[in-house]
A and B are shown apart, each in its own frame.
Chain A
């Protein structure tokens, strides 16, 4: 009996062609409206400098057709309930097994990262890509302290990255200080800026804070762009000194790294050194974060993220808590910036646009806001994905933007949507994402 009913509903659901067609027609109509002028007509500069229109009806109708077909399929299969779009809740047993596997993922990734220079020694492109990925992993972990742990959405994180990079470049160039002196200074200066920018925004919460940090990020970029005598303006700073291996430069000279160790000179040595350098920096960030979470200040961050008012009622000084989060996050951003400057040898305000901030925020959000391994995986996926789409240069930012929307719609808690409590009595109790969403409304 019940089987029959089920079949019956399934049948009626399956054959709701008219409804689906209707939906699809409306969607196609909307799409036609959206694309008609923007896609259907292209403006190009004509021979006299005037704009001339070029109609592109094929493209327009192709797009409308795709929307029609897509909406039809979605309406037919998803709306009728044949396929569920809701994600299933993983059972506790399954979760424990996943946790068990998950505890090895980190170790495995670390071992793999350590082995990369040996595995791909001859592939310069891959090594450079790995360095780039690790830079973003580090930035992601740094921002994770601010966004993931303390729950303060910082849309101007790239400002600290810029401060670090410019501090490094200017100190190294003007005073000729060594890499190992400039790098900590870059971090400290960035932390200082973090406190400086953190102070005024302490009273703000949520999205106001996000917009103010965005404004700060833009102000710093505009100052870097316009303060010609100090920062070189749009031309940036070039000829930033390369890092040395504890005083041994990576050159073919007699006092170089290769000669000192009696091995043949190879330009890849420097790349490998840079790789291990950023790996070490990233791991320091990770280690510091993990340890900080166990300190009172880390606990206070997480408490503040969950409920600021409750936090204040319990006597936590939210001012200091926010400032430390800002400063420490900024410091790691500054380290990453210093590394970026020495790796590139050239920096300009071009590298520190809002898009970079959005990218780092996207990594943290995709990684599940607060999960260290999630952020690392997200950075690999994101930067790696960007490289995969290199041929579609034009489209990748479009896809990036749409992906950010899609992730928020489908998995607002990120890929690793599960948060294990950092403090517990006797036994860990799981907090399923559904409950978290309920709480944070």
Chain B
């Protein structure tokens, strides 16, 4: 029971990270109907920017943890958003209206390019970061097994919930959110009634990238080690989360993220760690085959 509880806590933490990445997939898919295959690598870029920003802050002598964390989050969000914008501008925007698979192939190219760019710029080795946020709260102490929540886990869940709330507000009640929803319903019609679709799509990518970078920061703090390849697997899992929750749906992305995090954690805990990625990929396959609309998604109407 204690073991189960501990895994539940770990799974929810991991799921929050996946959920943050999944939002980027779900928003982009909702609006322009493409799988932004490079989104996982945007997450990886975010993690690297955070790593370097942390080291730079230490180098200039800023070591107060809360301030440093805030600065790093802001820097990572800003610069990663810039990456998201650039990728959209160069790899996807010229392809709008091209044949259906062109953006996907372009996105795969971008994903390969981003990975190798990072490998060239920062080296292929794994990058360790000493733990910055330490300490934990014991919940249950039953002699042989301690259930505990670490501070970093609390921070991850709190940050995720805050961002989700903020983002839901943005989509529900701001001008930009309305534009986004309009574009998601019908891009052409939205353009006809005066929505600046290019700008809206760009901003969607920017926000998606910013959220992915937060996930990157959290991943870095939680695991303490990153490399240039983390984006691929994390990206596929987050995409699975988006599909599982119902692609195009924001609460769905979060729910899917949590479920994938839990599935992965429990699978590793009770079955086999080696096959944890197989579990996640299998979930993707099963969901797409048996439940292509996901849990909260709406069925896609086939247009002729």
Contact = CB atoms under 8 A, between A and B. Distances in A.
Contact of B52 (A37, A355, A362, A402): A37
Interface string A253-289: 0000000000000000000000000000000000000
B159 interface: no
Interface string A345-381: 0000000001100100110010000000000000000
B119 A394 contact: yes
Contacts of B34: 207
A222 B118 contact: no
Interface string B103-145: 1111011111111111111110101111000000000000000
Interface string A49-68: 11111000000000000000
B109 A211 contact: no
Interface in B31-58: 34-35, 45, 48-49, 51-53, 55-56
Interface in A147-177: 153, 155
A309 B99 contact: no
A413 B103 CA distance: 12
B49 A38 contact: yes
A204 interface: yes
B66 interface: no
A429 interface: no
A331 B277 CA distance: 27
B45 to A, nearest CB: 7
B289 A437 contact: no
Nearest to B51: A43
B106 A405 contact: yes
A408 interface: yes
B52 A207 contact: no
Interface in B252-304: 274-275, 277-278, 281-282, 284-285, 288-289, 292, 302, 304
Given A39-B121, A206-B101, A437-B98, A34 B82 contact: yes
Contacts of B302: 309
B110 A401 contact: yes
A365 B125 CA distance: 32
Nearest to A313: B304
Contact of B117 (A211, A219, A398): A398
Contact of B120 (A223, A398, A408): A398
B59 interface: yes
B221 interface: no
Contacts of A41: 52, 55-56
A192 interface: no
Contacts of A215: 236, 281-282, 284-285
A362 B120 CA distance: 22
B86 interface: yes
A162 B70 CA distance: 47
B55 to A, nearest CB: 5
A200 B289 CA distance: 6
Contacts of B90: 405, 409
Given A33-B79, A404-B106, A201 B116 contact: no
A346 to B, nearest CB: 23
Contacts of A318: none
Contact of A395 (B56, B104, B120, B274): B120
B33 to A, nearest CB: 8
A219 B282 contact: yes
A30 interface: yes
Contacts of A386: none
A16 interface: no
Chain B at the A interface: SS class: helix
What DSSP secondary structure best describes chain A's contact surface? helix
Count chain B CB atoms within 10 A of each CB in A206, A309, A401, A437 and give the residue with the most: A401
Contacts of B274: 222, 226
A400 interface: yes
Contact of A398 (B75, B101, B102, B116): B116
For chain B, which range describes its interface: under 10, 10 to 19, 20 to 34, or 35 or more residues?
35 or more
A39 B83 CA distance: 14
Contacts of B111: 401
Contacts of A358: 108, 112
Contacts of A43: 51-52, 55, 122-123, 127
Given A37-B49, A204-B292, A215-B281, A405 B109 contact: yes
A216 B285 contact: yes
B234 to A, nearest CB: 13
B104 A401 contact: no
A223 B278 contact: yes
B159 to A, nearest CB: 21
Contacts of A222: 274-275, 277-278, 281
Contacts of B35: 207, 210-211
A438 to B, nearest CB: 9
Residue picked from B53, B59, B116, most chain A C-beta under 10 Å: B116
B109 A401 contact: yes
Contacts of A216: 281, 285
Nearest to A200: B289
A326 B79 CA distance: 42
Contact of B99 (A355, A400, A404, A440): A440
Nearest to A31: B86
B79 A34 contact: yes
Interface in B197-236: 232, 236
Nearest to B98: A412
A36 B80 CA distance: 12
B52 to A, nearest CB: 5
Contacts of A138: none
Interface string A2-40: 000000000000000000000000000010011011110
Interface in A387-408: 394-395, 397-398, 400-405, 408
Contact of A30 (B45, B86, B94): B86
Given A153-B101, A361-B108, A400-B116, 6 more contacts: A219-B282, A226-B275, A398-B116, A400-B109, A412-B102, A413-B99
The 10 closest A-B pairs by CB, nearest first: A404-B109, A401-B113, A401-B112, A408-B106, A398-B116, A440-B99, A397-B116, A215-B281, A405-B109, A226-B274
